[in-house]
Each structure stands twice: as C-alpha cells, then as structure tokens.
Amino acid sequence: MSLLEIQNLVVEFQTASGPFRAVDGVSLKVDEGEVLAIVGESGSGKSVSMLAAMGLLPWTAKVTADKLLFNGRDLQAMSDRDRRKIIGKEISMIFQEPVASLNPCFTVGYQIEEVLRVHTDLDRKARWDRAIELFQLVGIPNPEERLGHYPHQMSGGQCQRVMIATALACNPKLLIADEPTTALDVTIQKQILDLLMKLQAEHGMGLIMITHDMGVVAETADRVIVQYKGRKIEEADVLSLFESPKSVYTKALLSALPENAVGGRLPTITEKLTDQQIFEGAVR
C-alpha cells in the first residue's frame, strides 16, 4: 500500500474570466521511505497539487480526484476535523520562505510547542524537552537559549531548520518540502538538503520534494515527476530521467541547463515548443 496515492487530481480556481485549471489530471504515488521530486517551472501546478492533497487551499478552489488516499484512508471523505488530526501530525509540510512562514510575534520555541500541544498528550515539561531534542536533531546550537528567540533574530538557514524541526515534531510518515532551499545560499542549501536526506533515511519517511531546480532533483530524488501547466509530462526514476529523458519537454529543460553548454549559446527549445507539442510529447 502506498503512503499517499492520488489519482486524476483536478484543481480549478474561479476567476473573473471563467474557471482556471491549475492542476489537470495528475496522478502520483509515494511509498514509505521514498523520495519523490516534483519538478516544473512556475505555474506548473506543483505546489497547488500538494496543497490540494492536504486540503490547504482556500474555498475558491474546486478540488476533485478519483482517489485521494493517505495510508489507505480517504482524505476526501473525511471531515475537516478528522483531516486536521492528520495534517501536521502524520503529513507535514515545509514551505519556501522560512522567515515568512514563521509567526514573527511568537518565539520559535512557542511555535514548536504549539504543534506538540495540538497533536500530542505531552505535558508542558515533556513538550519543552521534545523541543530541545528537535533543535538538537536539526543542528541548532544552544537549543535552550535559541528556543526563546524570535524568528527575526535568526538567519534564513536557521529559520528553515526551525521549520524542519516543527514539521518533524510528531514524527510524520510523509513530509512535503515545497522549495525548501530556494531562498538560501548554496552552502546553506547543501546543509539543509543533507539534513533532510539524513532525517528521511533515519525515520524512513516518505518525502515529496517540490522544486524547480534540477540540481536539487539530482541530489535528492529516487523518482521524479515533471509537470508543465498542471499536467504530468514525464515520470521516471532519477537516473533514467537524466540519462535518457523521454519527453520533448524534459529534453528541452535539461538542455537549457548552463552546465550543459560552457561558453557559446544555450539552446532555448522550450521557446519554440507549443503547449500542444509538449503535451503530445508527454510520456506518462
């Protein structure tokens, strides 16, 4: 049984000029202990599909799916109350802007404790100990002192570590990381990715890595889904994707990497490809 199974997910937003389809029939599966990367350019619906699965989209969004199962339980049929028991506990999420996704009015310690207060029966003392343990886990020095700090007193990399600590507070089965390193420097990016991969392996979590960066995909994923304008274009294990991409779009994307053309001009095939060609060249 897969940890998360999504079949034919469609997300529509009502706009002034009629409904806009942000996700158009995406299906995916993640197993325990597996790292799935969803890669695509902006507007490819990669974040929206995950937010939809977690039920975090505003009411203006219309979400439909043939199947939306987490650990065998149907997320669509569930009441909001029941779903909230799973979200944040068994599925948790890390967002792109670490500084913006923490509440500036509370200390980081309070924010970690809050997750534990909602989802566990631990008493105050046990929650505090767990928070210290989590800070040690994600590599923040002097946890006792740092727990009393506000987000603005920490650097971007440290804030992202706090976010990871909060996400891991209840030992989730599935972690969704939405562009976790996009706002960070390369050296910090390396540290955070290494940390995520280490924790993923230790806890045997399923990890969904949403990114636009082929480098991050190459460094982390087992399996990759390439999305374009809300549709799945290609799905493959990471090695075959980079070694022998099947769809026209993936080929074009990989050829646009600056690494693949030192000096001279970069091929810009995607510029000439029409949506029609991209969708027809999809390999699912």
Partner 1 sequence: MTPVLEARNLKRDYHIPGSLLKKGKTVHAVKGVSFKVEQGKTLSIVGESGCGKSTLARMVTMIDPVTSGEMLIDGQKVDIAAEPLSSDMRSKVQIVFQNPYGSLNPRKKIGDILTEPLIINTKIPAAERRDRAMAMLKKVGLEEKHYSRYPHMFSGGQRQRVAIARALMLNPRLLVLDEPVSALDLSVQAQVLNLLADLQEEFHLTYVFISHDLSVVRHISDDVMVMYFGEAVEYGSRDQVFNDPQHSYTKTLFAATPRVDVEAIKARLERRKRA
Binding residues for partner 1, rule: CB under 8 A, are 41-42, 156, 185-190, 193, 201, 212-216, 218-219, 222, 238-239, 242-243, 252-254, 256-259, 261-263, 265-268, 270-271
User: By the 8 A CB rule, do 62 and 8 touch?
Assistant: no
Neighbours of 111 (CB within 10 A): 21
User: Residue 185 Cβ, how far from partner 1 at the closest point, in Å?
Assistant: 4
Q: Based on CB atoms, which residue is closest to partner 1, 72 or 263?
A: 263
Q: Based on CB atoms, which residue is closest to partner 1, 7 or 255?
A: 255
User: Residue 24 Cβ, how far from partner 1 at the closest point, in Å?
Assistant: 19
CA distance 102 to 104: 6
User: By the 8 A CB rule, do 29 and 5 touch?
Assistant: yes
User: Residue 84 Cβ, how far from partner 1 at the closest point, in Å?
Assistant: 34
The CA-atom distances, in angstroms, between 195 and each of 12, 58, 250, 276 are 35, 32, 28, 40
Q: Based on CB atoms, which residue is closest to partner 1, 176 or 241?
A: 241
CA distance 93 to 196: 12
Residue 125's contacts (CB-CB under 8 Å, 6 or more residues apart) are none
User: Residue 250 Cβ, how far from partner 1 at the closest point, in Å?
Assistant: 11
SS (H, E, C) 143-196: HHHHCCCCHHHCCHHHHHHHHHHHHHCCCCCEEEEECCCCCCCHHHHHHHHHHH
User: Residue 113 Cβ, how far from partner 1 at the closest point, in Å?
Assistant: 30
* Beta-sheet pairing, 206-211 with 18-30: unpaired
Q: Based on CB atoms, which residue is closest to partner 1, 79 or 187?
A: 187
Q: Based on CB atoms, which residue is closest to partner 1, 60 or 187?
A: 187
CA distance 46 to 178: 9
Q: Based on CB atoms, which residue is closest to partner 1, 152 or 265?
A: 265
User: Residue 16 Cβ, how far from partner 1 at the closest point, in Å?
Assistant: 15
